[in-house]
Structure 1
């Protein structure tokens, strides 16, 4: 399982609202390892948000701080992507399609060594 899948699994399990604990302290530890890391989140309309992972709520919504939105431009322009600074944003779980976490190789090994 790569770092993206590990992060997505941790976020999905931590945000599950089915009432099951699923070893809650382990899930909290996983999410704590993601705190304050650069995260790139894709959403269903094709936009991406790059920011610092700040928290996740029980439903699985992600909050990023110092976020920048990236979106594809369809008109002819020198840059294929437009960007704009947003600050603190909430990304609903229903819109999220991907999560990428920025970290070093040693940190990736540490994240991957966690038991599911």
Structure 2
């Protein structure tokens, strides 16, 4: 999975559809994305969109959370569908892709 710093994608002036930031985000559309939140949960779903504040919307999302506090405890999962993950709660963001795709997406980290 490729690590994505979406804060850098939504910052700055993203004037319109011709913006380089919009072009970068279009590369992420409909890719599977794993998003971690500050309370330890993870959400795996298909990237649908991101707004100027950095909130991410995933479709067909599944929530994964630890049943107990210990690191070796099993993960519990539940299907959620369409969800919005607020930017202030997000701790990590990764895109699922092949090695070749990772190389082409490296420009997203800049």
TM-score relative to the length of structure 2: 0.85
Does the alignment pair 1:74 with 2:73? no
Does the alignment pair 1:99 with 2:93? yes
Counterpart in the other structure of 1:21 = 13
* Cα offsets for 1:6-49 (capped at 9, x unmatched): x21xx213323xxx427871111111001100000000000000
> CA offset at residue 113 of structure 1?
4.5
> CA offset at residue 3 of structure 1?
2.8
Counterpart in the other structure of 1:12 = 7
Assess, with a 3 A threshold, how the Cα gap between structure 1 residues 88 and 12 changes in structure 2: closer, same or farther. same
Contact 1:51 1:68 in 2 (8 A): yes
Following superposition of structure 1 onto structure 2, how do residues 48-59 of structure 1 map, counting pairs within 5 Å? Answer: 48-59=42-53
- Matches of 1:49 and 1:69, distance apart in 2: 5
Give ranges in structure 2 of 5+ residues lacking alignment. Answer: none
The count of residues paired between Structure 1 and Structure 2 equals 105
- Matches of 2:34 and 2:74, distance apart in 1: 18
Give ranges in structure 1 of 5+ residues lacking alignment. Answer: none
Which of 40, 44, 62 matches 2:34?
40
- Matches of 1:104 and 1:92, distance apart in 2: 27
- Aligned CA RMSD, in angstroms, stands at 2.3
Contact 2:14 2:22 in 1 (8 A): no
